[in-house]
Amino acid sequence: MEKPVYLYYKLDNFYQNHRTYVKSVNYDQLGGDDLPVSDLDDCSPIKTNAELGFEKSHGNIGFNQGINLVSEAAANPCGLIARSFFNDTYALSIDDPLTAIGVDETDIAWDSDEDHKFGKPDNSGDIQWIDPTNEHFIVWMRTAGMPNFRKLWGRIHIDLQPDTYRLVVANNYDVSAFDGKKTFVMSTTNAFGGKNYFLAICYIVVGSLCFVFAAIFAIAHFVNSRLMKNESYASESNHVHAE
């Protein structure tokens, strides 16, 4: 595989396009505002740390200490999209001799999202269960339109030669709750982009439908023209006979 090699995780049967799921987010909070629970109605049903289910912030501060009483503090980030964040991790290496392969996990999110939609308050390590500027988190927060989807996890900047490779997966993400399946994908691209069978199938279906409807309209136009010509001929014949 010629560089760059793209690494993706793929989830099946996960409906990120569900209406309740898509609406369960507060973009002001994701932008860095520290909002009280009363301003997080958009995030229902995950508005407080109690509903979130985490005990500590990413700065290792307990949510049951001081002002962060678990029954009162705002979940940050709140909402179903954030709470369902995909947290498996991967390590790739050549098997023999065991040699780690560096994976670049930066520059995987859209620049517009990084620059304009995601930020964090100065006390992020005390009140947030995850750093919202983490690029894996930003990628996850851009919801997919189909129940089977893949999201970019990293890049390899060297060519991969024929060999035996070892993939170590930190299996943190439970897919049994939605009867799903998760897959690790390695892919390359060319001048026309990467493989996307969904788009190919869509183009074939739409093209076939266009051809069928074009044929139907052509036949209808031909039949209609013949009928109009016959009616015109009959009308002229009747006119001549009457004269």
Give 217-240 pLDDT, tens digit per residue: 999 888 887 777 666 665 655 555
Q: What are phi and psi of 100, to 5 degrees?
A: -65, 145
Give the C-alpha separation, 53 to 90, whole Å.
Answer: 25
pLDDT at 238: 57
pTM: 0.75
Tell me what percent of the residues of the chain surpass a pLDDT of 70: 87
pLDDT at 68: 47
Tell me what percent of the residues of the chain surpass a pLDDT of 90: 64
Count of C-beta atoms within a 10 Å radius of residue 124: 19
Tell me which residue of 214, 83, 99, 60 sits closest to 140, measured CA to CA: 83
pLDDT at 82 over 50: yes
Mean pLDDT calculated for residue range 64-74: 60
Give 194-224 pLDDT, tens digit per residue: 666 677 788 899 999 999 999 999 998 888 8
What are the angstrom distances between the C-alpha of 129 and each of 35, 78, 83, 238? 15, 10, 10, 88
Residues 6+ apart with CB under 8 A from 93: 99, 100, 101, 165, 166, 168
**ω before 4 within 30° of 0 (cis)?**
yes
pLDDT at 65 over 70: no
Residue type, 229: K
Length of the chain: 243
pLDDT at 190 over 90: no
Mean pLDDT calculated for residue range 173-188: 93
Cα–chain center distance at 47: 23
Give 99-123 pLDDT, tens digit per residue: 999 999 999 999 999 999 999 999 8
Mean pLDDT across the chain = 87
Q: Return the exposure string of 33-50: e unless at least 16 CB atoms fall within 10 Å of the residue's CB, then b.
A: eeeebeebeebeebbbbb
Mean pLDDT calculated for residue range 138-150: 94
Q: Indicate the pLDDT class of residue 96, thresholds 50, 70 and 90.
A: confident
